[in-house]
């Protein structure tokens, strides 16, 4: 048997409160648990359900045995972590500790008259494929001011597991009997602790709670950071991608499907985990990143420096590390780091925090269990090159300005998006011709200006009027293409290149 002093001191302080001297508790366990490494948010969730079950059970008084009916509750708790037997044992230990040292003292102090001579005794069992194992038990209650003759025992078996057979309730009688036997086995410790002479055992328990721990994916990522006496809560909502690959030219989509999306969807071990999209501003890097996430069926989690950077010493690293750790095994999301130039080379760093930040990301990108990570950049030479090496970033997509075919696809999608109908092929071809060396964002802006000029309609005059508002230098943009081609030759990663030749523009 073990008591609460075997508990890790830090965790004990985290979940315990100042206990009224009239309240005491005893915990016993089948095994001493020394390693405490579990999210307290999940502990709190389970503890709340146990407390709710206790409140319902205690409200069903035994005074009138003719109407007494034990509670039987089957509750599903969604969790976002991989649970195994060891985790469930630790989870049970922490949850019962929190119940007995935080929640029940408050409950009993509020209803002292009714519960003054009651020992509430929850016991948690692990269930797996017809096999039961008692993990931990405990009793808590009010200490008698003077020696009391009798105390009533309220036993509360709680069954925890990830999978249950349909006939689990047929084991209820054995569980209740075992729970009462466990209390009796520590009676010699309970009597002096609560200053009582005798315990009165019921014929049955107050009820049986079945907690089904079910793996699920949340619509958000939420982490709790302990800082001094305060808790910092960081919550990042996931978002659905707004674009898909059908909006892009077939020549680039074919390579993306072959090298990126198909291996990921088929869960091949060699599937890429990191993708960098490079190109001039406005060519559609962020949109293509969203389209890739949509194609592999993932929601998007945006990681921006404003989310995790802090003015307080050490907090930036703590928040970033906790965020990345919380999503390591998530299979429902893709991490998007847009405009990743803020991850500048450590050789240019002017603060030690930035070096720590890069080190944390290097370790994260090395983890094979991480979600697909998508980065975009206009100038990748600014990014710390250790982040971009193969194994961390597996594929680099280099996007230049769209050629004629791509501009036509972009124009047709934009007209459809703005619900513009009855546009002739000749007019579409004229827009393609006049948008040579335009990027995707500029094409969108030109069409919006033309629609505004034409009061919702588009014609050659409104296109001409809008085109005059743009100052595009073909020589400058052709030079950018040359620079992109030079940059591709220096990359050691697998590269998907879309840099049209001059004649294709």
Q: Note the pLDDT of residue 34.
A: 57
Kindly report, residue by residue over 85-107, the tens digit of the pLDDT.
778 888 888 888 888 888 888 87
Q: What 3-state class would DSSP assign to 231?
A: strand
Token representation of residue 103: 């929640």
Across the range 138-164, mean pLDDT stands at 83
Q: Note the pLDDT of residue 250.
A: 82
Same structural domain, 210 and 265: no
Q: Does residue 228 fall inside a structural domain? A: yes
Q: Does residue 143 fall inside a structural domain? A: no
Under 8 Å between Cβ of 206 and 154: yes
Same structural domain, 452 and 490: no
Across the range 177-188, mean pLDDT stands at 88
Name every residue whose Cβ is closer than 8 Å to that of residue 281 and which is 6 or more positions away in sequence. 378, 439, 441
For the full predicted model, state whether its pTM sits above 0.85. Answer: no
Sign of CA dihedral 248, 271, 322, 375: negative
Q: Count CB neighbours of 503 within 10 A.
A: 7
DSSP state of 20: P
Same structural domain, 301 and 425: no
Token representation of residue 284: 């559609």
Same structural domain, 337 and 463: no
pLDDT of residue 472 exceeding 80, the answer is: yes
pLDDT of residue 28 exceeding 50, the answer is: yes
Residue 210 and residue 159: Cα distance in Å, rounded? Answer: 5
Pairing between strand 207-215 and 299-302?
unpaired
Same structural domain, 280 and 362: yes
Residue 295 and residue 249: Cα distance in Å, rounded? Answer: 15
SS3 for 354-398, per residue? HHHHHHHHHHHHCCCCCCCEEEEECCHHHECHHHHCCCCCCEEEE
Pairing between strand 274-278 and 373-377?
parallel
pLDDT-derived band at 79 (thresholds 50, 70, 90) equals confident
Q: Note the pLDDT of residue 69.
A: 58
pLDDT-derived band at 325 (thresholds 50, 70, 90) equals confident
Same structural domain, 263 and 310: yes
Kindly report, residue by residue over 370-414, the tens digit of the pLDDT.
999 999 999 888 888 888 888 899 999 999 999 998 899 899 989
DSSP state of 482: H
Cα-based distances in Å from 453 to 20, 224, 456, 459, 468: 76, 51, 8, 10, 13
Q: Does residue 370 fall inside a structural domain? A: yes
pLDDT-derived band at 3 (thresholds 50, 70, 90) equals very low
Which has the higher per-residue pLDDT, 497 or 490? Answer: 497
Q: Does residue 46 fall inside a structural domain? A: yes
Q: What 3-state class would DSSP assign to 245?
A: helix
Phi/psi of residue 419, each to 5°?
Answer: 55, 45
Pairing between strand 23-29 and 71-79?
unpaired
Same structural domain, 326 and 462: no
Q: Does residue 346 fall inside a structural domain? A: yes
In 387-459, which ranges are continuous DSSP H helix?
404-417, 425-434, 440-453
End-to-end CA distance of the chain: 78
The last residue of one of the domains, among 169, 186, 214, is: 214
Q: Does residue 416 fall inside a structural domain? A: yes
Name every residue whose Cβ is closer than 8 Å to that of residue 481 and which is 6 or more positions away in sequence. 400, 401, 499, 500
Q: Count CB neighbours of 189 within 10 A.
A: 14
Q: Note the pLDDT of residue 316.
A: 86
Query: How many domains does the chain fold into?
Result: 3
Nearest alpha carbon to residue 358 among 371, 369, 347: 347
What is the domain range of residue 440? 404-472
Token representation of residue 188: 């010699």
Same structural domain, 242 and 316: yes
Same structural domain, 235 and 317: yes
Q: Can you state the angle between helices 352-365 and 315-326, rounded to 10 degrees? A: 10
Q: Does residue 176 fall inside a structural domain? A: no
Phi/psi of residue 77, each to 5°?
Answer: -115, 120
CATH code (residue 447) = 1.10.8
Q: Note the pLDDT of residue 402.
A: 92
């Amino acid at each position: 048997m073990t008591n609460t002093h075997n508990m890790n001191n830090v965790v004990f302080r985290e979940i315990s409160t100042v206990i009224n001297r009239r309240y005491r508790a005893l915990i016993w366990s089948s095994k001493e648990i020394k390693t405490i490494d579990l999210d307290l948010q999940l502990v709190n969730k389970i503890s709340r359900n146990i407390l709710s079950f206790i409140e319902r059970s205690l409200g069903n008084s035994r005074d009138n045995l003719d109407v007494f009916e034990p509670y039987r509750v089957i509750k599903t708790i969604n969790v976002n972590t991989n649970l195994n037997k060891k985790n469930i044992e630790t989870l049970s230990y922490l949850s019962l500790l929190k119940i007995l040292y935080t929640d029940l003292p408050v409950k009993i102090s509020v209803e002292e008259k009714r519960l003054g001579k009651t020992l509430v005794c929850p016991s948690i069992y692990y269930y797996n494929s017809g096999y039961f194992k008692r993990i931990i038990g405990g009793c808590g209650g009010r200490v008698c001011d003077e020696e009391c003759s009798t105390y009533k025992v309220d036993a509360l078996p709680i069954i925890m597991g990830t999978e249950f057979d349909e006939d689990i309730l047929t084991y209820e009688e054995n569980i209740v009997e075992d729970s009462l036997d466990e209390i009796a086995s520590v009676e010699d410790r309970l009597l002096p602790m609560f200053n009582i002479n005798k315990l009165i055992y019921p014929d049955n328990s107050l009820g049986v709670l079945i907690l089904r721990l079910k793996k699920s994916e949340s619509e958000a990522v939420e982490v709790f950071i302990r800082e001094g006496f305060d808790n910092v809560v960081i919550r990042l909502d996931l978002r659905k991608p707004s674009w898909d690959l059908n909006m892009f030219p077939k020549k680039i989509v074919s390579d993306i499907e072959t090298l990126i999306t198909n291996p990921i969807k088929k869960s091949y071990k060699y599937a890429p985990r990191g993708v960098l999209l490079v190109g001039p501003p406005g060519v559609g890097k962020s949109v293509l990143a969203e389209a890739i996430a949509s194609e592999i069926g993932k929601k998007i989690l945006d990681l921006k420096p404003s989310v995790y950077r802090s003015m307080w010493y050490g907090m930036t690293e703590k928040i970033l590390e906790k965020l990345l750790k919380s999503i390591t095994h998530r299979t429902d999301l893709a991490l998007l780091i847009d405009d990743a130039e803020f991850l500048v080379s450590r050789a240019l760093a002017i603060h030690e925090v930035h070096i720590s930040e890069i080190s944390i990301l290097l370790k994260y990108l090395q983890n094979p269990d991480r979600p697909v990570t998508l980065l975009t950049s206009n100038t990748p030479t600014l990014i710390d090159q250790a982040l971009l090496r193969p194994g961390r970033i597996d594929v680099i997509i280099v996007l230049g300005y769209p050629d004629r075919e791509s501009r036509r696809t972009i124009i047709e999608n934009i007209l459809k998006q703005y619900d513009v109908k009855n546009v002739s092929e000749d007019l579409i071809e004229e827009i393609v011709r006049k948008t040579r060396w335009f990027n995707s964002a500029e094409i969108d802006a030109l069409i919006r200006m033309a629609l505004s000029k034409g009061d919702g309609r588009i014609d050659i005059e409104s296109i001409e009027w809008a085109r005059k508002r743009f100052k595009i230098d073909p020589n400058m943009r052709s030079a950018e293409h040359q620079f992109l081609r030079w940059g591709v030759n220096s990359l050691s990663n697998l590269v998907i290149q879309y840099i049209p030749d001059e004649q294709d523009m």
